[in-house]
């Protein structure tokens, strides 16, 4: 019997080993992926454990010599962070229409009665909705009551708005009842505070004016400003502009602070004052978006120029009406005032007595007779 080293395969049997190899490869790959996932999960668990351990021992160090625990130094802003995380002791009073709503915390039932007494003193005509909750943890009692009293007093000057205490800080916002109330609130919030109280913000607005009116009247020796102005800074700017434009010894400022000025109100007022400064006398008035000017110009050319200048400089949002006269209409009267005294001199006689008629010429027929 002879053997040959040459191997022969039936072509029909070739697909079978190939399918087996494919199945085997997929099984090997699946096991590898499972092992990798298992390793990843173990690593993640280990990392989380180390992180938890580190957080539990943050700020601690061990002295190698004695083995005692030493606290690490806190960062410079640690107190600020602790204060921020501390739960705020909040109290608020909200005024809307005929209602006053009390919200937040109060130290005790006795303090609640004291607060309600303050409310009655400042808001006798308002309906009070009390939803205060008793809780400890606020500022010292007397300090807290002093802050509440101060906040309620400022709120009494507002037509609508709120006063809010956050621990030792006060927030006040809203619309003042009048220009005088606005001035009182501003003075109080920038003056001496009750013990321990600080102002966190001040969003108090002047009373709303609708329509928003501004007027300036120019007389022989006085310029009078009346109506509304948005702020004290704008009042100062207008007074400085008036002193540059008008040669008058007196400026009478009767402006009242008010909110609600239309857009480009500043530009409209400046254009109106510049036009008025070219007249001998007159008045400008702005009501809402409508401007009117009337007065007396030194001549017709100035009157025409003032009307043109106003239409050119006035913002397009505003409309204007002019009623400007000039002095040429009174020239006959002025001429007569100069001629009459001269005529009176002419009709006097040599001895200073009036004859009632013009003197005759030496060559006149009456003198020759």
Same domain, 179 and 107: yes
User: Does residue 238 fall inside a structural domain?
Assistant: yes
**What is the pLDDT confidence band of residue 249, given thresholds at 50, 70 and 90?**
confident
pLDDT on residue 209: 94
- Neighbouring residues of 202: CB distance < 8 A, sequence distance ≥ 6: 172, 173, 186, 189
Lowest mean pLDDT among 50-54, 87-91, 206-210: 50-54
Chain-centroid distance of CA 122 in Å reads 27
pLDDT at 339 over 60: no
Same domain, 179 and 217: no
User: Does residue 188 fall inside a structural domain?
Assistant: yes
Average pLDDT of the segment spanning 105-129:
96
pLDDT on residue 368: 41
- Neighbouring residues of 291: CB distance < 8 A, sequence distance ≥ 6: 268, 272, 284, 285, 310, 314, 318, 319, 320, 321
User: Does residue 97 fall inside a structural domain?
Assistant: yes
Q: Domain ends where: 182, 205, 228?
A: 205
Cα Rg, the chain, nearest whole Å: 46
Across the chain, what does the average pLDDT equal? Answer: 79
Element (H, E) at 170: strand 169-176
CB atoms within 10 A of CB 39: 10
Same domain, 252 and 300: yes
What is the domain count for the chain?
2
Average pLDDT of the segment spanning 8-28:
51
Q: Are the C-beta atoms of 222 and 250 separated by less than 8 Å?
A: yes
Tens digits of residue pLDDT in 163-176: 999 999 999 999 99
User: Does residue 20 fall inside a structural domain?
Assistant: no
Lowest mean pLDDT among 18-22, 106-110, 299-303: 18-22
Same domain, 304 and 280: yes
User: Does residue 183 fall inside a structural domain?
Assistant: yes
Comparing C-alpha atoms, which of 65, 62, 69, 123 is closest to residue 98? 123
What is the torsion angle, in degrees rounded to the nearest 10, for the CA atoms of residue 253, residue 257, residue 263 and residue 267? 20
pLDDT on residue 265: 97
Tens digits of residue pLDDT in 57-84: 444 444 444 433 333 444 445 454 445 4
Element (H, E) at 21: helix 15-56
Same domain, 98 and 175: yes
Cα(328)–Cα(362) distance, rounded to whole angstroms?
A: 40
Tens digits of residue pLDDT in 181-239: 999 999 999 999 999 999 999 999 999 999 999 999 999 889 999 999 999 999 999 99
Same domain, 268 and 193: no
Token readout for 293 is: 């000017």
pLDDT at 7 over 50: no
Cα(147)–Cα(185) distance, rounded to whole angstroms?
A: 15
**What is the pLDDT confidence band of residue 86, given thresholds at 50, 70 and 90?**
low
Same domain, 228 and 324: yes
User: Does residue 145 fall inside a structural domain?
Assistant: yes
pLDDT on residue 223: 95
- Neighbouring residues of 183: CB distance < 8 A, sequence distance ≥ 6: 257
Element (H, E) at 104: strand 99-106
User: Does residue 255 fall inside a structural domain?
Assistant: yes
Average pLDDT of the segment spanning 127-146:
95
Domain CATH for 291: 3.40.1520.20
**What is the pLDDT confidence band of residue 87, given thresholds at 50, 70 and 90?**
confident
User: Does residue 80 fall inside a structural domain?
Assistant: no
Average pLDDT of the segment spanning 106-123:
96
Q: Comparing 361 with 101, which gets the higher pLDDT?
A: 101
Task: Tally the C-alpha atoms within 13 A of residue 143's C-alpha that lie toward its C-beta.
Answer: 14
Average pLDDT of the segment spanning 253-258:
95
Report the SS3 class of residue 228: strand
Q: Domain ends where: 177, 205, 233?
A: 205
Q: List phi, psi (to 5°) of 285.
A: -145, 135
Q: Comparing 327 with 235, which gets the higher pLDDT?
A: 235
Comparing C-alpha atoms, which of 281, 310, 274 is closest to residue 296? 281
Average pLDDT of the segment spanning 289-314:
94
Same domain, 217 and 325: yes
CB atoms within 10 A of CB 238: 21
Q: Domain ends where: 166, 185, 205?
A: 205
Q: What percent of the chain has pLDDT over 90?
A: 63
Cα(140)–Cα(302) distance, rounded to whole angstroms?
A: 71
pLDDT on residue 4: 43
pLDDT at 24 over 80: no
pLDDT at 369 over 50: no
Predicted TM-score (pTM) of this structure: 0.60
Same domain, 131 and 193: yes
Q: Comparing 355 with 108, which gets the higher pLDDT?
A: 108
Q: Comparing 205 with 3, which gets the higher pLDDT?
A: 205
**What is the pLDDT confidence band of residue 36, given thresholds at 50, 70 and 90?**
low
Same domain, 199 and 217: no
Q: Which residue reads 């280990």 in tokens?
A: 46
pLDDT at 124 over 70: yes
Comparing C-alpha atoms, which of 301, 238, 226 is closest to residue 274? 238
Which residues form the domain of 135? Answer: 87-205
pLDDT on residue 218: 95
Same domain, 107 and 134: yes
Same domain, 176 and 266: no
């Amino acid at each position: 019997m002879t053997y040959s080293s040459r191997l022969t395969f039936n072509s029909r049997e070739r697909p079978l080993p190939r399918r087996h190899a494919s199945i085997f490869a997929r099984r090997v790959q699946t096991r590898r992926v499972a092992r990798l996932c298992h390793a990843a999960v173990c690593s993640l668990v280990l990392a989380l454990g180390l992180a938890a351990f580190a957080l539990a021992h943050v700020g601690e160090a061990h002295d190698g010599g004695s083995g005692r625990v030493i606290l690490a130094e806190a960062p410079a802003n640690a107190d600020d962070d602790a204060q921020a995380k501390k739960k705020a002791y909040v109290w608020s009073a909200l005024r809307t229409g005929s209602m006053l709503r009390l919200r937040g915390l109060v130290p005790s039932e006795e303090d609640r009665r004291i607060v309600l007494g303050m409310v009655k003193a400042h808001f006798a005509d308002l309906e009070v909705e009390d939803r205060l909750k008793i809780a400890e943890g606020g500022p010292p009692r007397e300090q807290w009551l002093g802050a509440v009293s101060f906040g309620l007093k400022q709120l009494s000057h507002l037509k609508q708005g709120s006063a809010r205490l956050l621990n030792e800080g006060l927030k006040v916002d809203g619309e003042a009842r009048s220009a005088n109330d606005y001035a009182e609130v501003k003075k109080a919030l920038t003056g001496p505070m009750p013990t321990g109280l600080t102002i966190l913000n001040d969003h108090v607005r002047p009373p709303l004016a609708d329509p928003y009116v501004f007027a300036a009247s120019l007389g022989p020796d006085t310029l009078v400003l009346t109506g509304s102005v948005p702020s004290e800074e704008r009042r100062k700017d207008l007074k400085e502009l008036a002193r540059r434009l008008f040669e008058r010894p007196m400026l009478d400022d009767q402006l009242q602070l008010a909110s609600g000025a239309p857009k480009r109100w500043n530009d409209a007022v400046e254009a109106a004052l510049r036009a008025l400064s070219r007249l001998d006398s007159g008045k400008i008035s702005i009501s809402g978006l409508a401007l009117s000017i009337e007065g007396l110009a030194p001549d017709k050319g100035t009157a025409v120029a003032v009307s043109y200048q106003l239409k050119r400089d006035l913002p397009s949002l505003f409309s204007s009406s002019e009623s400007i006269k000039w002095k040429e209409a009174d020239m006959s009267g002025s001429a007569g005032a100069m001629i009459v005294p001269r005529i009176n001199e002419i009709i006097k006689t040599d001895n200073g007595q009036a004859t009632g008629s013009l003197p005759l010429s030496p060559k006149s027929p009456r003198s020759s007779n």
